[in-house]
Amino acid sequence: MKKIAILGSTGSIGTQTLEVVENQGDIEVTALAAGSNIRLLEEQIRKFRPKIVCVFEEEKAKELKESVRDLTVRVVSGMEGLIEAAVEETSEIVVTAVVGMIGIRPTIAAMEAGKDIALANKETLVTAGHIIMPLAKKMGVRILPVDSEHSAIFQCLNGENKGSVHKILLTASGGPFRGKTREELKNVKVEDALNHPNWAMGRKITIDSSTMVNKGLEVMEAKWLFGVQMDQVQVVIQPKSIIHSMVEFEDGAVMAQMGTPDMKLPIQYALYYPERRYLKGDRLDFWSIGQINFEKPDLVNFPGLKLAYEAGCAGGTLPTVFNAANEKAVAKFLNREITYLTITDMIEGAMNGHTVKENPTVEEILDAEAAAYEYIESRW
């Protein structure tokens, strides 16, 4: 039996990971973690019987502890608890499906404990890639991409010499507002931005897709995962999300990975790599698809992608500021405290006011995060 821990088990990636576990029937779930959703977490505990469970919010953890008194599961809380869940001794793979930079410490702890990482939590790699990638090498652990585009690239690179990659063609749907101008985006409502054309995902990443910030984070994620330069990653809009990404090699050959938009494929591929297993679900029907269209991204009306290239090229603490400002801004937008266009204004403002620190430690990354938050709170 393969043994896995899932950090963020109550979210979109977490629940789909558990669907894969259930469908395959030969994976043991050793640890689960969530922020506060103890109702769903209790259901998951009763079904999958993990040894340890973390609820980040202490009060909720106490509540959960009471309701699972009849079981032997250990319930922990806070960052210490999240790290305990990440390093549970029998796990082989830790699925990082928490949202945001909160994933940095548990991911590092899991790697230091010798676990492979099935990485969905892109914010960790964007902000701490210079720590994560060398640590993976040092510990001999694998970073298995779960993000659909990065899984696609990983699949295209199977059996290939990484040195012969010319460029990565990172596909983007363009989100619900593709083709709109800033003027037309002024009065966008939360509900409009949450209406992704192809994917059902968590709220934060869905807003990121609409602003193209998700694609910006993914360009930086690709840089770290595949050891390429920022300018070797070209974003291509492909509105139907059926080409999940492509790789162009030195000889001009382009390999693409295609499929219906279903995260269970990259999740399952990461858990069983290099094995491919049957996955039930719709298949692409090329006769009915007819056409696949491509567009250039619009960096003027969607400045989030341009800012991400700036952050990724500068490196150091600037990707953290880009990411942290976005996390704060999206939370405020979802809370209806700011307008839609203010999201990227906040990112730009925070980046402009920041002095980059090269090669930051985890503490310095967290300081840069706090500084970005403070900047936003003081200006907006």
Ligand X SMILES: NC(=O)C1=CN([C@@H]2O[C@H](COP(=O)(O)OP(=O)(O)OC[C@H]3O[C@@H](n4cnc5c(N)ncnc54)[C@H](OP(=O)(O)O)[C@@H]3O)[C@@H](O)[C@H]2O)C=CC1
Annotated binding site: 10-13, 35, 37, 121-123, 147-149, 173, 196, 202, 209, 214-215, 218
Number of neighbours of residue 64 by Cβ within 10 angstroms: 25
Number of neighbours of residue 379 by Cβ within 10 angstroms: 11
199 binds ligand DXP, rule: CB under 6 A: yes
Choices 141-149, 221-229, 301-309, 341-349 (CB under 6 A): range interacting with ligand DXP: 141-149
- The token duo for 59 is 């009060």
Choices 105-113, 130-138, 145-153, 305-313 (CB under 6 A): range interacting with ligand DXP: 145-153
CA separation for the pair 303, 289 (Å, rounded): 31
Choices 9-17, 246-254, 271-279, 343-351 (CB under 6 A): range interacting with ligand X: 9-17
Q: In this chain, which of 23, 24, 36, 301 binds ligand X, going by CB under 6 A?
A: 36
Sign of torsion, CA 26 31 37 40? positive
CA separation for the pair 95, 109 (Å, rounded): 13
35 binds ligand X, rule: CB under 6 A: yes
Provide the residue type at 237 as one letter. I
CA separation for the pair 182, 302 (Å, rounded): 8
Among candidates 378, 379, 368, 377, which has minimal Cα distance to 322?
368
CB of 215 to ligand DXP, least distance (A): 5
CA separation for the pair 126, 138 (Å, rounded): 19
If contact means CB under 5 to 8 A according to the sort of partner, which of Mn ion, ligand DXP, ligand X, none does residue 202 touch? ligand X
Q: In this chain, which of 4, 5, 31, 33 binds ligand X, going by CB under 6 A?
A: 33
Number of neighbours of residue 219 by Cβ within 10 angstroms: 25
Among candidates 366, 376, 380, which has minimal Cα distance to 326?
376
Among candidates 302, 307, 73, 319, which has minimal Cα distance to 188?
302
Please return the burial class of 50, using the count of CB atoms within 10 Å of its CB with bins 0-12, 13-18 and 19+: buried
Q: In this chain, which of 37, 124, 173, 323 binds ligand DXP, going by CB under 6 A?
A: 173
CA separation for the pair 318, 126 (Å, rounded): 10
If contact means CB under 5 to 8 A according to the sort of partner, which of ligand DXP, Mn ion, ligand X, none does residue 211 touch? none
Please report, in angstroms and rounded to a whole number, the separation of the first and last CA atoms in the chain.
Answer: 51
Q: In this chain, which of 175, 303, 319, 349 binds ligand DXP, going by CB under 6 A?
A: 175
11 binds ligand X, rule: CB under 6 A: yes
262 binds ligand DXP, rule: CB under 6 A: no
CB of 374 to ligand X, least distance (A): 20
260 binds ligand X, rule: CB under 6 A: no
Site string for Mn ion, 137-176 (x = CB under 5 A): ----------xxx---------------------------
Q: In this chain, which of 10, 30, 107, 241 binds ligand X, going by CB under 6 A?
A: 10
Strand ranges in 17-164 using DSSP code E only, listed in sequence order: 27-34, 52-55, 74-77, 93-96, 116-119, 143-145
145 binds ligand X, rule: CB under 6 A: no
Q: Which residues bind ligand X (CB under 6 A)?
A: 8-14, 33-37, 56, 82, 97-99, 102, 120-123, 147, 199, 201-205, 263
Q: Which residues bind Mn ion (CB under 5 A)?
A: 147-149
